[in-house]
C-alpha cells in the first residue's frame, strides 16, 4: 500500500477556546456541503454522533474506535476515511485522547440531492465497465478505507473553500464536492475489485486483469495483453480502467510492484538491488525514484526501518 495521505494540518483550538473537551465542533456551512471539524481533548467512551446527512469523515490526528451498526468495532486512524449513512449514528470511543494527544477529525455532510445528481450524471454519461454494476455511493460494505492522494487533495480544497470569502466560492464548492463524490466511488470500486478479484472473475472483466497482473508481476506486462483480457480495444480499456478505478493500468502495476518490494525489503537478507528485480523492476535508479515517490522515503531507509529477522 502507498503511504497514508493526510490533508494539510488544521490548527487545534486552545483550551480556553473550547466549548467542550469531547467532540468540540467547528462548523462551516456552504450551499453545497457542511464542513465540520471535531476535536476531543480527553478520554471518552460510547459518545453518540448523528449528522442527519451522508457524511464523509476523515481522521487527521489521534485515534478513535468506531462502532457502526451491524459491523465490528474498528480502530480509526489518521490517513483513513469512513462514509456514514444518512440515518446512521456513530458511537465513538476516544481511548487515548488527552490535552497533549487530542483527536481531530473532518466530517463533510453531503446533501442527498448532490449525491443523487452526481450519481445520475455518472451513470448516464460515464457508465462503468459492466452494465449490471451502476455507480453508487456505498455506505456499508466499502465505507472504511485508506485515503488516496486524489481524495486528500479534494478534501484540502474543501477546507480552503470553507474558509474563503470569495464571491464564487459556492460555485467552486459545488464542483469540488462532486469531484469528491467521484473520488469516493472510484476508491470503493478499487476496493471491490482489488481486494476481492477472485470472487468477481465471472462478473467483472477487470477482475481477470487484476488476477493476471498479480500472477505475472515480475514479468513484462503489456496494455495490449490486459486489454485483450478485458475484451476491449487498447484505447477503450485504458480510458475505462482509469475512469472507473481512478488511475491507469500502468499506475496500478507500479503500485503492486512497490507493495511487493516493501514485503521483500522487510527481510534483512534481501539487498535493495535484489528486491528491485524480484519485484519486477529492471532498473535500480528507476526503482529508487518510484519508491521514494510512492512511499516518501528511499528503499534503503525503508529497509533499515522495517527489516525483521523473518524470511520473505
- On the question of pLDDT at 3 being above 70, the answer is no
The Cα–Cα gap between 52 and 50 comes to 6
The Cα–Cα gap between 22 and 157 comes to 27
Q: pLDDT tens digit string along 137-149?
A: 999 888 999 998 8
Same domain for 266 and 138?
Answer: no
Same domain for 163 and 254?
Answer: no
What's the rounded mean pLDDT across residues 280-286? 95
Q: pLDDT tens digit string along 161-172?
A: 998 887 789 899
The Cα–Cα gap between 270 and 210 comes to 27
Half-sphere exposure of 212 (CA within 13 A, CB side): 18
What's the rounded mean pLDDT across residues 55-68? 97
Range of the domain at 131: 15-194
Rounded (10°) CA dihedral 15, 16, 19, 20: 30
Instruction: List C-alpha distances in Å: 120 to 130, 181, 188, 246, 283.
Output: 16, 12, 17, 18, 45
Q: For residue 276, how many other CB atoms are within 10 A of its CB? A: 23
Residue 40, C-alpha cell as written in the block = 476531543
Question: Is 86 in a helix, a strand, or coil?
Answer: coil
Same domain for 261 and 145?
Answer: no
Is residue 101 in some structural domain?
Answer: yes
Same domain for 172 and 202?
Answer: no
Bridge partners, 217 (sequence order): none
**Locate cell 462478473: which residue?**
203
- On the question of pLDDT at 309 being above 60, the answer is no
Q: pLDDT tens digit string along 182-223?
A: 999 999 999 999 988 999 999 999 999 999 999 999 999 999
Q: Looking at residue 312, what is its pLDDT?
A: 45
Q: Looking at residue 307, what is its pLDDT?
A: 78
What's the rounded mean pLDDT across residues 277-291? 96
Same domain for 72 and 212?
Answer: no
Q: Global pTM?
A: 0.86
187 touches 138 (CB < 8 A): no
Query: Residue 285: which CATH number?
Result: 1.10.10.60
List alpha helices for the chain, DSSP H: 112-125, 149-163, 169-195, 205-215, 223-229, 234-245, 249-265, 272-278, 284-295, 299-306
Domain boundary among 178, 194, 210: 194
Query: Residue 24: which CATH number?
Result: 2.60.120.280
- DSSP letter string, 153-177: HHHHHHHHHHH---TTHHHHHHHHH
Q: Looking at residue 252, what is its pLDDT?
A: 96
Q: For residue 115, how many other CB atoms are within 10 A of its CB? A: 20
- Give the count of domains, the chain: 3
Same domain for 219 and 302?
Answer: no
Is residue 97 in some structural domain?
Answer: yes
Amino acid at each position: 500500500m502507498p503511504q497514508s495521505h493526510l490533508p494539510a494540518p488544521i490548527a487545534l483550538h486552545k483550551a480556553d477556546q473550547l466549548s467542550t473537551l469531547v467532540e468540540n465542533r467547528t462548523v462551516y456551512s456552504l450551499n453545497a456541503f457542511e464542513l465540520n471539524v471535531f476535536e476531543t481533548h480527553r478520554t471518552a467512551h460510547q459518545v453518540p454522533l448523528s449528522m442527519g446527512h451522508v457524511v464523509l469523515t476523515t481522521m487527521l490526528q489521534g485515534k478513535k474506535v468506531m462502532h457502526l451498526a451491524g459491523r465490528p468495532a474498528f480502530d480509526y486512524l489518521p490517513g483513513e476515511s469512513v462514509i456514514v449513512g444518512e440515518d446512521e449514528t456513530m458511537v465513538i470511543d476516544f481511548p487515548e485522547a488527552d490535552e497533549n494527544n487530542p483527536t481531530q477529525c473532518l466530517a463533510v455532510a453531503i446533501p442527498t440531492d448532490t449525491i443523487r445528481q452526481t450519481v445520475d450524471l455518472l451513470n448516464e454519461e460515464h457508465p462503468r465497465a459492466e452494465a449490471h454494476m451502476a455507480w453508487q455511493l456505498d455506505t456499508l460494505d466499502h465505507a472504511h478505507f485508506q485515503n488516496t492522494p486524489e481524495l486528500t487533495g479534494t478534501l484540502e480544497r474543501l477546507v480552503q473553500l470553507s474558509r474563503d470569502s470569495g464571491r464564487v466560492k459556492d460555485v467552486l464548492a459545488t464542483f469540488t464536492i462532486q469531484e469528491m463524490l467521484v473520488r469516493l466511488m472510484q476508491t470503493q470500486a478499487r476496493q471491490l475489485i482489488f481486494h476481492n478479484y477472485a470472487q468477481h472473475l465471472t462478473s467483472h472483466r477487470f477482475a481477470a486483469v487484476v488476477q493476471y497482473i498479480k500472477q505475472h508481476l515480475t514479468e513484462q506486462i503489456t496494455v495490449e495483453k490486459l486489454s485483450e483480457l478485458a475484451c476491449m480495444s487498447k484505447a477503450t480499456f485504458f480510458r475505462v480502467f482509469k475512469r472507473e478505478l481512478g488511475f491507469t493500468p500502468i499506475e496500478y502495476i507500479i503500485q503492486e510492484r512497490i507493495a511487493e518490494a516493501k514485503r521483500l525489503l522487510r527481510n534483512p537478507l534481501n539487498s535493495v538491488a535484489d528486491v528491485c528485480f524480484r519485484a519486477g523492476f529492471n532498473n535500480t535508479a528507476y526503482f529508487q525514484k518510484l519508491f521514494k515517490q510512492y512511499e516518501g522515503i528511499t528503499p534503503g531507509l525503508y529497509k533499515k526501518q522495517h527489516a525483521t529477522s523473518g524470511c520473505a
